[in-house]
Chain A
């Protein structure tokens, strides 16, 4: 790494001090406040900290944190990696991550979807990976066709290598027009936001993972990496068994993107997989916590696509606790509950809690899913007999549960 200008060094050091103070006083992990202080003193700090590193940006509606973690875990075999592991995915978090590991030759940053154009423009990242785009927190997030358009403009303006999931039509459309794209067939479970062609608005005909517009020439490109069940097939046709510790189809999808990404850094799948398989839990997700003889597995689901992924991981033979809030980070609007098909839960004991449990209760009632309403998470746990329990919660509900259990990984 080349030496940072004096002002940037100072800004970066003061930011780290602020972060340390924030942690010491129990206010949080410090990654946001530290970056804010740094950016206040040197607005150009993110560009300067990103320069001369091999940087990958990771964005999507779902799977950003996990994919960032998978890529980081693999790249560590090549050298030190700076990363925003705590999910602080806006510029302040990026500054904080980069100044904490200021000599790391590699960096992998999770980027909030709305901030991707700005962060790409600032950092000139060499690699950008894009997994999926679907409805999410509509009361505060940009609408997704508009978002895809902003991605498309930003990507077309840079020589960046884009690693994109070509099974998602909106992601494909955003990446089309980039100078260099590696297409990955990583699957798409949630399809409700991609029945129409992003290019002309015509109907998309879909068959398996393949799709094509009925009215214009826009169609799924041929992938060079393919996720096929438990395996990933690389561009030479070699098949690699994933054997991840993380569960579910969504994580195999994230892993396929991660393998294609680290290959761009010169890391072969055989080596990369060793890193991917070390990841067991990401920011508390998929982790199991114990209380009074009950083993609770915590699954995070922030939007309809995320709920489908969580249902894929949940065990149909186990009771399940669902917890829903509608604070700022969750989106204050609970309309999305009606986009999730809860009927898959019929036949399991279902307990409903969280600040917006009445919204969820009505949703389940209309879906014909029997449930029990509980005033608190603790009450829901106590109602169930000792044994294994699945828990699905949205963002702040999930954080509340983690706090109750001491944020253990």
Chain B
């Protein structure tokens, strides 16, 4: 294991419409709080994706940027190589759909994805907008997931992935589950700064890279989590 973490933020010029930068900042903060050194690369969509990173992040975006992003990532191949080498990946919202075999374009047309997750996505009947809370797969040992979703996607999970969580409040994949994971690849509809309210998910990504982590001061994370969960969960 290493004491150095290489973060790669993919295509902030295309896929960063909802505060996605938050996930980068939170991973940096939580790694540095443990004395780890962090190196972050922001990869524009006109540049090659380096394949030597430890944790890759990809965010949400509108239809056109999503299609452009998927095309460029397929052509580039760097992200697929990195995952094949064992890198971790957190894919959010539009970025989550891109990781599947196919997703729905502007007119609902099928657009091929990267095939890093055994999922296929299409467009739902109505937009899912609002708070989401979900119980995480016990195998991951994480507390309740909390966040905000804003998407029209419906995602079918294939046998090659496990649901990340089961929804208590919100829509998620559309079948009572939310997100999915396989190996060190995690996808979620919790858009934007999903890690702000789920620091344990951030720590999971870090632990996959550097091994067991020391506890750190989580006061402000926990205060926000408690407030949001209390606001949406039945008493």
The judgment on whether A and B are partners is yes
Residue positions of A touching B, CB distance < 8 A: 135, 138-140, 143-146, 192-193, 195-196, 201-203, 214, 332-339, 358-359, 361-363, 365-367
The distance in angstroms between the C-alpha atoms of A362 and B219, with both chains bound, is: 9
- A333's contact among B16, B45, B148, B224, by CB below 8 Å, is which? B148
Q: Which bracket fits the contact residues of B?
A: 20 to 34
- A138's contact among B18, B22, B29, by CB below 8 Å, is which? B18
Judge whether A337 and B25 touch: CB under 8 Å.
Answer: no
The distance in angstroms between the C-alpha atoms of A173 and B186, with both chains bound, is: 36
Q: Which stretch of B116-124, B165-173, B176-184, B191-199 is in the interface? A: B191-199
The distance in angstroms between the C-alpha atoms of A339 and B18, with both chains bound, is: 8
Q: What number of residue pairs across chains A and B have CB atoms under 8 A from each other?
A: 94
The distance in angstroms between the C-alpha atoms of A84 and B228, with both chains bound, is: 37
Tell whether A139 pairs with B148 under 8 Å between CB atoms, given A145-B64, A335-B191, A362-B196. Answer: yes
B12 — which chain A residues lie within 8 A by C-beta?
Answer: 192, 195
Judge whether B44 and A203 touch: CB under 8 Å.
Answer: yes
Judge whether B29 and A192 touch: CB under 8 Å.
Answer: no
In the complex, how many angstroms separate the beta carbon of B67 from the nearest chain A beta carbon?
8
A366 — which chain B residues lie within 8 A by C-beta?
Answer: 22, 25-26, 29, 196
Judge whether B21 and A196 touch: CB under 8 Å.
Answer: no
The distance in angstroms between the C-alpha atoms of A334 and B44, with both chains bound, is: 25
In the complex, how many angstroms separate the beta carbon of B174 from the nearest chain A beta carbon?
18
The distance in angstroms between the C-alpha atoms of A214 and B68, with both chains bound, is: 15
B227 — which chain A residues lie within 8 A by C-beta?
Answer: 358
Judge whether B45 and A335 touch: CB under 8 Å.
Answer: no
Judge whether A143 and B62 touch: CB under 8 Å.
Answer: yes
B14 — which chain A residues lie within 8 A by C-beta?
Answer: 195-196, 201
Judge whether A196 and B68 touch: CB under 8 Å.
Answer: yes
The distance in angstroms between the C-alpha atoms of A196 and B196, with both chains bound, is: 27
The distance in angstroms between the C-alpha atoms of A154 and B129, with both chains bound, is: 28
B193 — which chain A residues lie within 8 A by C-beta?
Answer: 335, 337-338
Known contacts A332-B130, A335-B148, A359-B196, then 17 further A-B pairs from the complex at CB < 8 Å, ordered by chain A residue: A138-B150, A139-B148, A140-B129, A144-B62, A145-B65, A196-B45, A196-B68, A203-B45, A214-B46, A335-B18, A338-B192, A338-B193, A358-B220, A358-B223, A361-B223, A362-B221, A366-B25
In the complex, how many angstroms separate the beta carbon of A354 from the nearest chain B beta carbon?
13
Q: Identify which of residues 24-41 in chain B touch chain A, using a CB-to-CB cut-off of 8 Å.
A: 25-26, 29
- B22's contact among A143, A145, A335, A358, by CB below 8 Å, is which? A335
Question: Which partner residue on chain B sits nearest A201 by CB separation?
Answer: B68
B221 — which chain A residues lie within 8 A by C-beta?
Answer: 362
Judge whether A196 and B26 touch: CB under 8 Å.
Answer: no
The distance in angstroms between the C-alpha atoms of A193 and B68, with both chains bound, is: 15
Judge whether A335 and B192 touch: CB under 8 Å.
Answer: yes
Q: Identify which of residues 1-59 in chain B touch chain A, using a CB-to-CB cut-off of 8 Å.
A: 12-14, 16-22, 25-26, 29, 44-46
A367 — which chain B residues lie within 8 A by C-beta?
Answer: 25
Judge whether B17 and A338 touch: CB under 8 Å.
Answer: no
Q: Can you pick out 27 interface pairs between chain A and chain B where the beta carbons lie within 8 Å of each other? A: A135-B18, A139-B129, A139-B150, A143-B17, A145-B62, A192-B16, A193-B17, A196-B13, A196-B68, A201-B64, A202-B46, A203-B46, A332-B130, A333-B150, A335-B19, A336-B19, A337-B22, A338-B19, A338-B21, A338-B196, A358-B223, A359-B224, A361-B224, A362-B221, A362-B223, A363-B22, A366-B25
